[in-house]
């Protein structure tokens, strides 16, 4: 297999030019090194907020796509972690770059023959639009390596609503990808998985983000993502950490929130838990156990790969939908209707006079 990438040693890992023909340019600050590995893959907390919408809630950054990945062996031993970014000059998505045939990920899997788990953390769900074909390239990758399991986490759905002309393609592609369960899972980022992502890929994280619970706006968006991806694919996300009993004010999940200056100081009201004696969410080591400890089973020695013809959709029954609707919608108020008729009163008085 001919390699189309070029890799160079960097102080904290490596930098990778995903296509040999990429050159530095003024239009894209990331070019030509759109892949960085190991500790060099970490980003600032301010950039993490701008792209992933954590901790305050989702923000719209349509031109900035950011993806983190982790490779592990069948036993759970880490092999490599890294970061892939999009190119705004050549309109390349990070998934398209990473899963390119003959690209950097192909080379890694061929070099480390015992890779069994690939985990992606992205600010957008993968698409299958013309010119990107991210999900199609994922399919091809899974076909070349039938023993690898793929878990995808995202903070926001990409072009799946009706105002986008490409939404039907993306929804159908997500359904097709989700049908490979349990080998492939699609999961909105939520709960403790946010802390795991901060721990592995973000530098200079404020202590308050490690101690405080998920903020209401962010938690509401996570629950919205869970409902939407289940509606699109017909399969409930397997790795989800949201509380169904928590109620939040009814609001638009993807309303743009005010831009906070993350580079100066973390707001004081969210840093009080640092010295309050609370048990930290993050402890020594990885804050979330290796996911395959409780992952749905998938055979390691699967020799053939084909798209399943018969798919069982895990849909909610009508009674379950009624119960969920009761939790989300405001409770109804009982109204007592009283009818007063003057005729009955007059007849009652007439009867008394006759007596």
We report the CATH number of the domain holding residue 112 as: 3.40.140.10
Contact 61, 69 (CB under 8 A): no
- Which phi and psi angles does 85 have, rounded to 5°? -125, 160
pLDDT in tens, 3-50: 899 999 999 999 999 999 999 999 999 999 999 999 999 999 999 999
Residue 95 among the catalytic residues:
yes
Instruction: Quote the number of domains for the chain.
Output: 1
Give a yes or no: residue 248 inside a domain. yes
Give ∠ CA 244-247-248 in degrees, rounded to 5.
130
Q: What is the pLDDT of residue 68?
A: 98
Q: Token match 């005729």: residue? A: 343
Q: Token match 């031993």: residue? A: 77
Give a yes or no: residue 87 inside a domain. yes
For residues 95, 98, 103, 106, the Cα torsion angle rounded to the nearest 10 degrees is -110
Give how far the C-alpha of residue 160 lies from the chain's centroid of Cα atoms, to the nearest Å: 14
Specify the 3-state DSSP secondary structure of 113: coil
Q: What is the pLDDT of residue 295?
A: 52
Give how far the C-alpha of residue 300 lies from the chain's centroid of Cα atoms, to the nearest Å: 25
Average pLDDT over residues 211-239: 89
Give a yes or no: residue 213 inside a domain. yes
Give a yes or no: residue 49 inside a domain. yes
Give a yes or no: residue 59 inside a domain. yes
Q: Are strands 66-73 and 115-122 parallel, antiparallel or unpaired?
A: antiparallel
Give a yes or no: residue 350 inside a domain. yes
Q: Among residues 70, 95, 100, 129, which one is catalytic?
A: 95
Q: What is the pLDDT of residue 302?
A: 45
For the cut 70, the answer to whether the pLDDT of residue 343 exceeds it is no
Q: What predicted TM-score, i.e. pTM, was given to this entire model?
A: 0.71
Give a yes or no: residue 1 inside a domain. no
Q: What percent of the chain has pLDDT over 70?
A: 67
Give a yes or no: residue 155 inside a domain. yes
Q: Look up the domain containing 207 and give its range.
A: 6-354
For residues 133, 138, 140, 142, the Cα torsion angle rounded to the nearest 10 degrees is -170
Range of 107-121, 235-249, 312-326 with top mean pLDDT = 107-121
pLDDT in tens, 314-330: 444 445 544 544 554 44
Among candidate residues 161, 96, 101, 163, the one with its CA nearest the CA of residue 130: 96
Whole-number mean pLDDT of the chain? 77
CA distances from 351 to 340, 341, 345, 346 (A): 19, 17, 10, 9
């Amino acid at each position: 297999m001919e390699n189309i990438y070029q890799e160079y040693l960097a102080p904290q890992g490596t930098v990778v030019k995903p296509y040999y023909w990429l050159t530095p340019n003024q239009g894209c600050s990331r070019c030509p090194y759109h892949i960085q590995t190991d500790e060099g893959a970490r980003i600032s907390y301010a950039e993490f907020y701008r792209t992933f919408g954590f901790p305050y809630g989702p923000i719209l950054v349509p031109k900035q796509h950011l993806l983190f990945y982790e490779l592990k062996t069948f036993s759970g031993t880490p092999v490599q972690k890294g970061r892939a970014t999009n190119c705004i000059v050549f309109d390349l998505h990070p998934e398209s770059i990473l899963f390119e045939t003959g690209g950097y990920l192909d080379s890694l899997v061929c070099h480390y023959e015992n890779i069994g788990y690939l985990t992606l953390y992205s600010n957008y769900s993968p698409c299958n639009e013309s010119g990107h074909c991210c999900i199609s390239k994922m399919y091809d990758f899974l076909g070349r390596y039938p023993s690898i399991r793929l878990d995808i986490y995202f903070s926001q759905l990409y072009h799946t609503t009706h105002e986008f002309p490409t939404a039907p393609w993306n929804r159908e592609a997500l359904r097709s990808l989700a049908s490979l369960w349990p080998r492939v899972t699609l999961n909105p980022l939520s709960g403790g998985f946010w802390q795991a992502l901060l721990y592995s890929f973000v530098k200079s994280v404020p202590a308050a983000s490690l101690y405080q619970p998920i903020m209401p706006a962010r938690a509401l968006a996570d629950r919205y993502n869970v409902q939407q991806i289940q509606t699109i694919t017909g399969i409930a996300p397997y790795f989800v950490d949201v509380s169904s009993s928590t109620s939040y004010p009814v609001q638009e999940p993807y309303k743009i929130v005010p831009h906070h200056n993350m580079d100066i100081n973390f707001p004081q009201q969210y840093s009080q838990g640092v010295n309050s004696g609370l048990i930290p969410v993050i402890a020594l080591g990885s804050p979330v156990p290796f996911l395959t400890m409780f992952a749905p089973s998938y055979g390691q020695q699967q020799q053939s790969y084909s798209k399943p013809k018969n798919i069982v959709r895990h849909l909610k029954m009508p009674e379950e939908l009624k119960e969920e609707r009761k939790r989300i919608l405001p409770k109804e108020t009982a109204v007592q209707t009283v009818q007063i008729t003057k005729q009955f009163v007059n007849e009652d008085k007439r009867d008394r006079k006759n007596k």
